[in-house]
Amino acid sequence: MKLVVGTAMAARTKLPATAFSSSSAGDNFSICKSMVEIQGYTCQEHKVTTKDGYILGLQRIPVGRSANNKTSNSPPVLLQHGVLVDAVSWLLGSPNESLAFMLADSGFDVWLSNTRGTAASRGHTSLGPQDPAYWEWSWDELVDIDLPALFQYVQNQTGQRLHYVGHSLGTLTAFAAFSENKLLNMLRSSALLSPVAYLGQMPSLLARTIAETFLAEDLYLLGAREFIPRGNDVAKLLDFACNKLRVSCFDILSLLTGPNCCIKNSTLNAFLEHEPQSTATKNVMHLSQMIRKRTIAKYDYGNLAENMKHYGQSTPPTYNMKSIPKNLSLFLSYGGKDTLSDVNDVQVLLDDLRNHDADKLVVQYRQEYAHVDFIIGSNAHQVVYDPLIAFFKLH
Protein backbone atom coordinates (compact mmCIF):
# COMPACT_ATOMS: atom_id res chain seq x y z
CA MET A 1 0.00 0.00 0.00
CA LYS A 2 2.78 2.43 0.87
CA LEU A 3 4.49 1.78 -2.46
CA VAL A 4 1.25 2.53 -4.30
CA VAL A 5 0.74 5.76 -2.36
CA GLY A 6 4.36 6.78 -2.94
CA THR A 7 4.10 6.05 -6.64
CA ALA A 8 0.92 8.10 -6.88
CA MET A 9 2.57 11.02 -5.13
CA ALA A 10 5.54 10.78 -7.44
CA ALA A 11 3.22 10.96 -10.44
CA ARG A 12 1.31 13.93 -9.04
CA THR A 13 4.58 15.80 -8.53
CA LYS A 14 5.78 14.94 -12.06
CA LEU A 15 8.52 12.67 -10.74
CA PRO A 16 8.07 9.58 -12.93
CA ALA A 17 7.98 6.42 -10.83
CA THR A 18 10.07 4.42 -13.29
CA ALA A 19 13.67 3.42 -12.95
CA PHE A 20 16.17 5.64 -14.72
CA SER A 21 17.22 4.06 -18.01
CA SER A 22 20.87 4.31 -18.96
CA SER A 23 19.98 3.76 -22.61
CA SER A 24 17.65 6.73 -22.70
CA ALA A 25 20.20 8.78 -20.81
CA GLY A 26 23.34 8.06 -22.73
CA ASP A 27 23.93 7.08 -26.34
CA ASN A 28 20.60 8.27 -27.77
CA PHE A 29 20.42 11.65 -26.06
CA SER A 30 22.52 14.61 -27.15
CA ILE A 31 22.29 17.82 -25.14
CA CYS A 32 23.78 19.69 -28.10
CA LYS A 33 21.17 18.48 -30.57
CA SER A 34 18.20 18.46 -28.22
CA MET A 35 18.78 21.67 -26.28
CA VAL A 36 21.36 23.94 -27.94
CA GLU A 37 21.43 23.66 -31.73
CA ILE A 38 17.65 24.05 -31.96
CA GLN A 39 18.13 27.52 -30.44
CA GLY A 40 20.50 28.53 -33.23
CA TYR A 41 23.85 27.97 -31.52
CA THR A 42 26.90 25.99 -32.55
CA CYS A 43 27.50 23.17 -30.07
CA GLN A 44 30.17 20.52 -29.64
CA GLU A 45 30.04 17.32 -27.59
CA HIS A 46 33.26 16.53 -25.70
CA LYS A 47 34.32 13.65 -23.45
CA VAL A 48 36.68 13.87 -20.48
CA THR A 49 38.04 10.68 -18.91
CA THR A 50 38.98 11.01 -15.25
CA LYS A 51 41.91 9.23 -13.64
CA ASP A 52 39.49 6.78 -11.98
CA GLY A 53 37.84 5.92 -15.30
CA TYR A 54 34.63 7.98 -15.42
CA ILE A 55 33.80 9.41 -18.85
CA LEU A 56 32.22 12.82 -18.39
CA GLY A 57 30.10 14.49 -21.05
CA LEU A 58 30.94 18.13 -21.69
CA GLN A 59 29.08 20.45 -24.07
CA ARG A 60 30.73 23.49 -25.63
CA ILE A 61 28.97 26.56 -27.05
CA PRO A 62 31.98 28.32 -28.56
CA VAL A 63 30.22 31.38 -29.98
CA GLY A 64 26.95 33.23 -29.66
CA ARG A 65 24.21 33.41 -32.25
CA SER A 66 25.94 36.22 -34.12
CA ALA A 67 29.13 34.10 -34.36
CA ASN A 68 31.18 37.29 -34.61
CA ASN A 69 33.33 36.48 -31.60
CA LYS A 70 36.35 34.28 -32.26
CA THR A 71 36.73 31.17 -30.13
CA SER A 72 40.47 31.73 -29.70
CA ASN A 73 39.86 35.09 -28.03
CA SER A 74 36.74 34.23 -26.08
CA PRO A 75 37.30 33.68 -22.35
CA PRO A 76 36.10 30.20 -21.36
CA VAL A 77 33.41 29.70 -18.72
CA LEU A 78 32.68 26.32 -17.10
CA LEU A 79 29.15 25.85 -15.72
CA GLN A 80 28.68 23.16 -13.05
CA HIS A 81 25.15 22.18 -12.02
CA GLY A 82 23.94 20.94 -8.65
CA VAL A 83 22.99 17.53 -7.29
CA LEU A 84 20.16 15.51 -8.91
CA VAL A 85 20.22 17.60 -12.11
CA ASP A 86 22.53 17.94 -15.13
CA ALA A 87 23.64 20.51 -17.70
CA VAL A 88 20.14 20.70 -19.20
CA SER A 89 19.16 22.77 -16.15
CA TRP A 90 21.15 25.70 -17.60
CA LEU A 91 19.31 25.53 -20.95
CA LEU A 92 15.60 25.47 -20.19
CA GLY A 93 14.70 29.10 -20.85
CA SER A 94 14.87 31.16 -23.99
CA PRO A 95 18.26 32.42 -25.24
CA ASN A 96 17.53 35.72 -23.52
CA GLU A 97 16.78 33.99 -20.20
CA SER A 98 19.23 31.06 -19.88
CA LEU A 99 22.65 31.78 -18.42
CA ALA A 100 24.55 29.51 -20.82
CA PHE A 101 23.07 31.22 -23.88
CA MET A 102 23.49 34.69 -22.41
CA LEU A 103 27.17 34.02 -21.73
CA ALA A 104 27.70 32.80 -25.30
CA ASP A 105 25.94 35.86 -26.72
CA SER A 106 28.11 38.05 -24.46
CA GLY A 107 31.30 36.76 -26.05
CA PHE A 108 32.23 33.88 -23.74
CA ASP A 109 33.27 30.36 -24.74
CA VAL A 110 30.77 28.30 -22.74
CA TRP A 111 31.43 24.78 -21.40
CA LEU A 112 28.70 22.76 -19.66
CA SER A 113 29.76 19.91 -17.39
CA ASN A 114 27.70 16.90 -16.31
CA THR A 115 28.43 15.15 -13.03
CA ARG A 116 29.36 11.47 -13.13
CA GLY A 117 26.25 9.27 -13.13
CA THR A 118 23.98 11.79 -14.88
CA ALA A 119 22.55 11.31 -18.35
CA ALA A 120 25.55 12.49 -20.36
CA SER A 121 28.19 11.09 -17.98
CA ARG A 122 27.31 7.45 -17.36
CA GLY A 123 30.33 6.00 -19.16
CA HIS A 124 33.36 4.37 -17.56
CA THR A 125 36.44 2.65 -18.91
CA SER A 126 35.74 -0.62 -17.08
CA LEU A 127 32.48 -0.31 -15.11
CA GLY A 128 28.83 0.30 -15.90
CA PRO A 129 26.03 1.91 -13.88
CA GLN A 130 24.78 -1.59 -13.10
CA ASP A 131 27.99 -2.28 -11.14
CA PRO A 132 27.92 -1.32 -7.44
CA ALA A 133 31.54 -0.16 -7.67
CA TYR A 134 30.52 2.46 -10.24
CA TRP A 135 28.65 4.34 -7.49
CA GLU A 136 31.36 4.23 -4.81
CA TRP A 137 31.96 7.96 -4.64
CA SER A 138 30.79 11.12 -2.90
CA TRP A 139 31.41 14.78 -3.59
CA ASP A 140 34.98 14.35 -2.32
CA GLU A 141 35.79 12.66 -5.62
CA LEU A 142 34.22 15.53 -7.52
CA VAL A 143 36.60 17.87 -5.67
CA ASP A 144 39.71 15.71 -5.99
CA ILE A 145 39.21 14.21 -9.45
CA ASP A 146 36.40 15.55 -11.63
CA LEU A 147 36.76 19.32 -11.26
CA PRO A 148 40.54 19.26 -11.83
CA ALA A 149 40.05 17.03 -14.90
CA LEU A 150 37.39 19.36 -16.33
CA PHE A 151 39.41 22.50 -15.65
CA GLN A 152 42.52 20.99 -17.21
CA TYR A 153 40.63 19.83 -20.28
CA VAL A 154 39.03 23.21 -20.93
CA GLN A 155 42.32 25.00 -20.37
CA ASN A 156 44.08 22.62 -22.76
CA GLN A 157 41.41 23.19 -25.41
CA THR A 158 41.35 26.97 -25.10
CA GLY A 159 44.81 27.90 -23.85
CA GLN A 160 43.20 30.18 -21.28
CA ARG A 161 42.27 30.29 -17.62
CA LEU A 162 38.58 29.79 -16.83
CA HIS A 163 35.70 31.61 -15.27
CA TYR A 164 33.56 29.21 -13.23
CA VAL A 165 29.84 29.18 -12.42
CA GLY A 166 28.50 26.76 -9.84
CA HIS A 167 25.02 26.19 -8.47
CA SER A 168 24.28 24.33 -5.22
CA LEU A 169 26.57 21.26 -5.10
CA GLY A 170 28.59 22.95 -7.83
CA THR A 171 29.42 25.65 -5.27
CA LEU A 172 30.24 23.19 -2.49
CA THR A 173 32.79 21.34 -4.61
CA ALA A 174 34.30 24.67 -5.69
CA PHE A 175 34.60 26.00 -2.13
CA ALA A 176 36.23 22.74 -1.02
CA ALA A 177 38.67 22.80 -3.94
CA PHE A 178 39.56 26.46 -3.41
CA SER A 179 40.15 25.83 0.30
CA GLU A 180 42.76 23.22 -0.63
CA ASN A 181 44.40 25.48 -3.23
CA LYS A 182 43.13 23.35 -6.10
CA LEU A 183 42.21 24.86 -9.50
CA LEU A 184 43.49 28.33 -8.64
CA ASN A 185 46.21 28.44 -11.29
CA MET A 186 43.54 27.72 -13.94
CA LEU A 187 40.89 30.11 -12.60
CA ARG A 188 40.06 33.74 -13.43
CA SER A 189 37.00 34.21 -11.24
CA SER A 190 34.08 32.28 -9.83
CA ALA A 191 30.33 32.95 -9.56
CA LEU A 192 28.56 30.77 -7.00
CA LEU A 193 24.74 30.71 -6.97
CA SER A 194 22.85 29.32 -3.97
CA PRO A 195 26.23 28.89 -2.25
CA VAL A 196 26.56 25.79 -0.10
CA ALA A 197 29.40 25.34 2.34
CA TYR A 198 27.49 24.64 5.54
CA LEU A 199 24.19 22.76 5.84
CA GLY A 200 23.68 22.53 9.59
CA GLN A 201 20.89 25.11 9.82
CA MET A 202 19.06 24.32 6.59
CA PRO A 203 15.28 24.16 7.11
CA SER A 204 14.43 21.98 4.08
CA LEU A 205 11.95 19.48 5.50
CA LEU A 206 12.65 16.77 2.97
CA ALA A 207 16.45 17.06 3.04
CA ARG A 208 16.54 17.19 6.83
CA THR A 209 14.26 14.16 7.10
CA ILE A 210 16.55 12.18 4.79
CA ALA A 211 19.54 13.13 6.94
CA GLU A 212 18.08 12.72 10.41
CA THR A 213 16.47 9.34 9.72
CA PHE A 214 19.60 7.93 8.02
CA LEU A 215 17.53 6.96 4.99
CA ALA A 216 20.42 7.08 2.53
CA GLU A 217 22.47 4.91 4.88
CA ASP A 218 19.62 2.39 5.02
CA LEU A 219 19.38 2.32 1.22
CA TYR A 220 23.14 1.76 1.00
CA LEU A 221 23.01 -1.13 3.46
CA LEU A 222 20.21 -2.66 1.40
CA GLY A 223 22.46 -2.59 -1.65
CA ALA A 224 21.02 0.48 -3.41
CA ARG A 225 24.24 2.15 -4.53
CA GLU A 226 22.54 4.33 -7.17
CA PHE A 227 20.18 6.93 -5.75
CA ILE A 228 17.49 7.07 -8.44
CA PRO A 229 15.11 10.02 -8.03
CA ARG A 230 12.82 8.53 -10.69
CA GLY A 231 12.61 5.10 -9.14
CA ASN A 232 10.56 3.13 -6.65
CA ASP A 233 13.01 3.77 -3.80
CA VAL A 234 12.20 7.46 -3.96
CA ALA A 235 8.48 6.76 -4.20
CA LYS A 236 8.84 4.98 -0.85
CA LEU A 237 10.90 7.86 0.49
CA LEU A 238 8.26 10.43 -0.50
CA ASP A 239 5.56 8.35 1.14
CA PHE A 240 7.59 8.10 4.34
CA ALA A 241 8.52 11.77 4.44
CA CYS A 242 5.05 13.10 3.73
CA ASN A 243 3.35 10.82 6.25
CA LYS A 244 5.92 11.59 8.94
CA LEU A 245 5.84 15.35 8.37
CA ARG A 246 2.08 15.51 7.68
CA VAL A 247 2.59 17.95 4.82
CA SER A 248 1.26 18.03 1.29
CA CYS A 249 3.53 16.45 -1.28
CA PHE A 250 1.86 18.05 -4.27
CA ASP A 251 4.68 20.55 -4.44
CA ILE A 252 7.64 18.33 -3.72
CA LEU A 253 10.04 20.82 -5.29
CA SER A 254 9.12 23.50 -2.74
CA LEU A 255 9.29 20.93 0.05
CA LEU A 256 12.92 20.37 -0.87
CA THR A 257 14.13 23.76 -2.12
CA GLY A 258 11.85 26.40 -0.61
CA PRO A 259 9.03 28.33 -2.34
CA ASN A 260 10.49 29.39 -5.67
CA CYS A 261 9.01 32.74 -6.61
CA CYS A 262 9.64 33.24 -10.25
CA ILE A 263 9.40 30.08 -12.34
CA LYS A 264 7.06 29.87 -15.33
CA ASN A 265 4.86 26.77 -15.47
CA SER A 266 6.21 25.94 -18.93
CA THR A 267 9.80 26.11 -17.69
CA LEU A 268 9.02 24.03 -14.62
CA ASN A 269 7.33 21.40 -16.78
CA ALA A 270 10.39 21.29 -19.04
CA PHE A 271 12.61 20.99 -15.96
CA LEU A 272 10.60 18.07 -14.59
CA GLU A 273 10.51 16.37 -18.00
CA HIS A 274 14.28 15.90 -17.85
CA GLU A 275 15.20 16.15 -14.19
CA PRO A 276 15.89 14.76 -11.65
CA GLN A 277 19.03 12.74 -12.38
CA SER A 278 20.78 9.96 -10.52
CA THR A 279 23.59 10.38 -8.04
CA ALA A 280 25.49 8.00 -5.78
CA THR A 281 23.73 6.98 -2.58
CA LYS A 282 27.11 7.54 -0.92
CA ASN A 283 26.98 11.15 -2.11
CA VAL A 284 23.60 11.61 -0.41
CA MET A 285 25.11 10.02 2.71
CA HIS A 286 27.95 12.55 2.64
CA LEU A 287 25.54 15.47 2.34
CA SER A 288 23.46 13.99 5.16
CA GLN A 289 26.55 13.89 7.37
CA MET A 290 27.00 17.62 6.77
CA ILE A 291 23.44 18.31 7.92
CA ARG A 292 23.70 16.19 11.05
CA LYS A 293 27.20 17.25 12.11
CA ARG A 294 27.04 20.90 11.01
CA THR A 295 30.51 20.60 9.52
CA ILE A 296 32.08 20.69 6.08
CA ALA A 297 34.37 17.68 6.09
CA LYS A 298 35.43 14.75 3.98
CA TYR A 299 33.28 11.61 3.92
CA ASP A 300 33.09 9.84 7.29
CA TYR A 301 33.46 6.08 6.87
CA GLY A 302 31.91 5.57 10.28
CA ASN A 303 34.67 3.59 11.92
CA LEU A 304 38.19 4.23 13.12
CA ALA A 305 39.91 1.70 10.87
CA GLU A 306 38.42 3.00 7.61
CA ASN A 307 39.02 6.64 8.49
CA MET A 308 42.62 5.82 9.43
CA LYS A 309 43.04 3.93 6.16
CA HIS A 310 41.80 6.83 4.04
CA TYR A 311 42.91 9.86 6.04
CA GLY A 312 45.56 8.73 8.52
CA GLN A 313 43.40 9.98 11.39
CA SER A 314 40.34 8.81 13.29
CA THR A 315 37.98 11.51 12.00
CA PRO A 316 37.60 12.98 8.51
CA PRO A 317 39.61 16.14 7.78
CA THR A 318 37.58 19.32 7.51
CA TYR A 319 37.60 21.77 4.62
CA ASN A 320 38.63 25.15 6.02
CA MET A 321 36.74 27.95 4.29
CA LYS A 322 39.08 30.50 5.88
CA SER A 323 41.85 29.03 3.71
CA ILE A 324 40.23 30.27 0.49
CA PRO A 325 42.70 32.81 -0.94
CA LYS A 326 41.68 36.36 -0.06
CA ASN A 327 42.46 37.65 -3.55
CA LEU A 328 40.24 35.14 -5.38
CA SER A 329 37.54 36.94 -7.35
CA LEU A 330 34.17 35.68 -6.05
CA PHE A 331 30.57 36.57 -6.94
CA LEU A 332 28.06 35.05 -4.49
CA SER A 333 24.29 35.21 -4.90
CA TYR A 334 21.86 33.72 -2.37
CA GLY A 335 18.14 33.83 -1.68
CA GLY A 336 15.98 34.61 1.32
CA LYS A 337 13.51 31.77 0.63
CA ASP A 338 16.12 29.10 -0.13
CA THR A 339 15.80 26.19 2.30
CA LEU A 340 18.90 24.36 1.02
CA SER A 341 21.33 27.29 0.90
CA ASP A 342 19.87 28.80 4.06
CA VAL A 343 20.63 32.42 4.91
CA ASN A 344 22.00 31.43 8.33
CA ASP A 345 24.39 28.89 6.83
CA VAL A 346 25.44 31.42 4.19
CA GLN A 347 26.17 33.88 6.99
CA VAL A 348 28.56 31.37 8.57
CA LEU A 349 30.33 31.19 5.22
CA LEU A 350 30.43 34.99 4.92
CA ASP A 351 31.90 35.18 8.42
CA ASP A 352 34.68 32.87 7.21
CA LEU A 353 35.24 35.23 4.27
CA ARG A 354 35.14 38.44 6.32
CA ASN A 355 38.84 39.13 5.65
CA HIS A 356 38.49 38.59 1.91
CA ASP A 357 39.80 41.44 -0.24
CA ALA A 358 36.89 43.86 -0.53
CA ASP A 359 37.45 44.48 -4.23
CA LYS A 360 37.45 40.74 -4.95
CA LEU A 361 34.14 39.77 -3.31
CA VAL A 362 30.64 40.65 -4.52
CA VAL A 363 27.72 39.36 -2.43
CA GLN A 364 24.18 39.61 -3.79
CA TYR A 365 21.07 38.84 -1.74
CA ARG A 366 17.73 38.15 -3.45
CA GLN A 367 15.15 38.14 -0.67
CA GLU A 368 12.40 36.59 -2.83
CA TYR A 369 14.50 33.79 -4.35
CA ALA A 370 14.55 30.10 -3.43
CA HIS A 371 16.97 27.44 -4.66
CA VAL A 372 15.74 26.76 -8.20
CA ASP A 373 14.99 30.39 -9.06
CA PHE A 374 18.72 30.87 -9.63
CA ILE A 375 18.78 28.49 -12.60
CA ILE A 376 15.31 28.78 -14.14
CA GLY A 377 13.75 31.90 -12.62
CA SER A 378 11.95 34.02 -15.23
CA ASN A 379 13.69 37.21 -14.10
CA ALA A 380 17.08 35.69 -13.20
CA HIS A 381 18.54 37.06 -16.42
CA GLN A 382 17.96 40.58 -15.15
CA VAL A 383 18.58 40.32 -11.41
CA VAL A 384 21.35 37.68 -11.29
CA TYR A 385 22.86 36.94 -14.71
CA ASP A 386 23.39 40.50 -15.94
CA PRO A 387 25.41 41.41 -12.80
CA LEU A 388 27.25 38.07 -13.01
CA ILE A 389 28.29 38.66 -16.62
CA ALA A 390 29.39 42.20 -15.77
CA PHE A 391 31.51 40.75 -12.94
CA PHE A 392 33.18 38.28 -15.31
CA LYS A 393 33.95 41.04 -17.79
CA LEU A 394 35.79 42.93 -15.05
CA HIS A 395 37.95 39.91 -14.28
Residue positions annotated with a catalytic role: 168, 338, 371
HEC letters along the chain: CHHHHHHHHHHHCCCCCCCCCHHHHCCCCCHHHHHHHHHCCCCEEEEEECCCCEEEEEEEECCCCCCCCCHHHCCEEEEECCCCCCHHHHCCCCCCCCHHHHHHHCCCEEEEECCCCCCCCCEECCCCCCCHHHHCCCHHHHHHHHHHHHHHHHHHHHCCCEEEEEECHHHHHHHHHHHCCCCHHHEEEEEEECCCCCCCCCCCHHHHHHHHCCHHHHHHHCCCCEECCCCHHHHHHHHHHHHHHCCCCCCHHHHHHCCCCCCCHHHHHHHHHHCCCCEEHHHHHHHHHHHHHCCCECCCCCCHHHHHHHHCCCCCCECCHHHCCCCCCEEEEEECCCCCCCHHHHHHHHHHCCCCCHHHEEEEEECCCCCCHHHHCCCHHHHHHHHHHHHHHHC
Q: Whole-angstrom Cα distance, residue 98 to residue 100?
A: 6
Torsion of CA 253, 257, 259, 264, to 10 degrees: -60
Alpha carbon 165 to its chain centroid, in Å, reads 10
List phi, psi (to 5°) of 48: -125, 125
Give Dmax (Cα) for the chain: 60
Region of 355 on the Ramachandran plot (φ > 0 left; ψ -120 to 50 alpha; else beta) = alpha
Cα 53 to Cα 48, 123, 127, 146: the distances in Å are 10, 8, 8, 10
Q: How far is CA 282 from the centre of its chain?
A: 16
